[in-house]
Amino acid sequence: MPYKLLLSEEISPAIRRIGHEQLIRARRELSSTQNIQAGVHKTRSCLKRFRSLLRLARPMLGETVFRKENKRHRDIARALAQPRQAGALLETITKLEQRDDFSHFLPLITELKSLIKKQKKETENELELISLATLVETLDASIERWKKRPFDTVSFESIAHGFGQTYDRGRKSLMIAIERDDNFYMHEWRKDVQQTWRHMQILTLIWPEDIMPRIRLAREISKLLGTENDISDLERFMQSNKKRLKKNKTLKPLYKPFRSALRTVCRDLSLHAVERGRRLYAFEATALSDAMTVYWKTSKALQPMPNVVLELSNIKESTKANSPKSPVRESTPQPSALERMRAANAAKKRNAEPKQKTKPTSVADKPSPIVKIVPKAPPPQRPPEKEE
């Protein structure tokens, strides 16, 4: 089933279904031993979607339940964060290696790449020591607890309220990120953008034409901020290995220019993200949550009417088919309103023009009278004579 609220579902069963599906999927990905790195990444994505659902259902869950469930699954995600961060650093340095404007930093990039690969191996070994089986058991307990979680029947207004809270938090985070102009606050704003995008993903079907562009915009912002955060992590990784890098005489002159180039890229990415963020958060939170409620009610109301005739041609054809046959009468075409107006204006002009004196015309100039030829009536017939 999709990560969406279906129009045919009631709200409480839909929340239970979506949460259960994400927990089951997280457990399956974490249990996979084929590719640990990919499994960790997919597990973290499932946990992010589950925590977004918790925020959306926060008014119906209650503050105590929300905080407990959110903390449990946040701790699982944090236990998997270190291996994922090493993989993200390796992807970032590989992308920079392929850029033409970073080609003169190639010796430094090559050294950083080897250091990141070494750290990645160490984190994967640490992940094995963490014992994935323990995290799987924790997810099993979450699945059982979620199955038994009581959900009262609630109206859509509570879901819209949860959406409005997340959206308002994202607006405030954007303002703080603009004021502080720091990577930490940009990263915090990115978390709220992701929450908003996932909430809209759940609510997509209530009006796809309006919500899908918002989802695409939020994803674009999240991608820009994610790249900016990865580059900032790379800069911090350089600082932690500063002594080792500067010992190499070839790499020492490249150290400061490379950090400066990374900061320039981060600044450009932040500016692009902020401008898109102004568009995403252009509405007040109350106005947008109220709009979502209207979308839900109207979409539910339109569902039972699939056979509505929308085209006039279909209406004409159906009326012709149902009406009894009648003799065809040719109706004289009526002049349009524009033609009637033109005729009235022409008549006014003719009446307003002064009458000119006409010269007497000769007999030759006079038009010949029209002679009407009337056919002669047949002579009356005499009645037959009576025989004597």
Among residues 152, 155, 151, 196, which one has the least CA distance to residue 296? Answer: 155
| CATH number, position 169 | 1.40.20.10
Mean pLDDT across the stretch 158-164? 93
pLDDT at 336: 58
pLDDT at 381: 58
- Which DSSP string do the residues of 218-251 spell out, in sequence order? HHHHHHHHHHHHHHHHHHHHHHHTHHHHHHSTTT
**Within-domain flag for 44:** yes
pLDDT confidence tier of residue 121, bands split at 50, 70 and 90? confident
Mean pLDDT across the stretch 105-128? 84
pTM of the model: 0.75
pLDDT at 371: 47
The rounded distance, in Å, linking the Cα atoms of 180 and 177 is: 5
- Please report, in angstroms and rounded to a whole number, the separation of the first and last CA atoms in the chain: 114
Domain count, the chain: 1
Is the pLDDT at 263 greater than 60? The verdict is: yes
Among the residue ranges 75-89, 101-115, 177-191, 339-353, the one predicted with the least confidence is 339-353
**Within-domain flag for 210:** yes
> Distance of alpha carbon 243 from its chain centroid, rounded?
47
* CB burial readout 350-371, b (16+ within 10 A) else e: eeeeeeeeeeeeeeeeeeeeee
Task: List alpha helices for the chain, DSSP H.
Answer: 11-31, 36-56, 58-61, 63-79, 81-97, 106-130, 132-147, 156-180, 183-202, 208-240, 242-247, 252-280, 285-302, 312-322, 337-352
Read off the DSSP letter of residue 8. Answer: T
Among the residue ranges 152-161, 215-224, 330-339, the one predicted with the least confidence is 330-339
pLDDT confidence tier of residue 26, bands split at 50, 70 and 90? very high
**Within-domain flag for 369:** no
Q: What is the mean pLDDT of the chain?
A: 83
User: Please, are residues 48 and 61 in contact by the beta-carbon 8 Å criterion?
Assistant: no
Domain encompassing residue 173: 11-302
| pLDDT, greater one: 82 or 201 | 201
**Within-domain flag for 248:** yes
Is the pLDDT at 246 greater than 80? The verdict is: yes
**Within-domain flag for 123:** yes
pLDDT at 133: 82
Among the residue ranges 114-118, 197-201, 318-322, the one predicted with the least confidence is 318-322
Among the residue ranges 14-18, 119-123, 144-148, 205-209, the one predicted with the least confidence is 119-123
**Within-domain flag for 349:** no
pLDDT at 305: 53
pLDDT at 340: 67
**Within-domain flag for 5:** no
Among the residue ranges 112-126, 225-239, 353-367, the one predicted with the least confidence is 353-367
pLDDT in tens, 218-237: 999 999 999 999 999 999 99
**Within-domain flag for 176:** yes
Is the pLDDT at 321 greater than 80? The verdict is: no
pLDDT at 261: 94
pLDDT at 224: 96
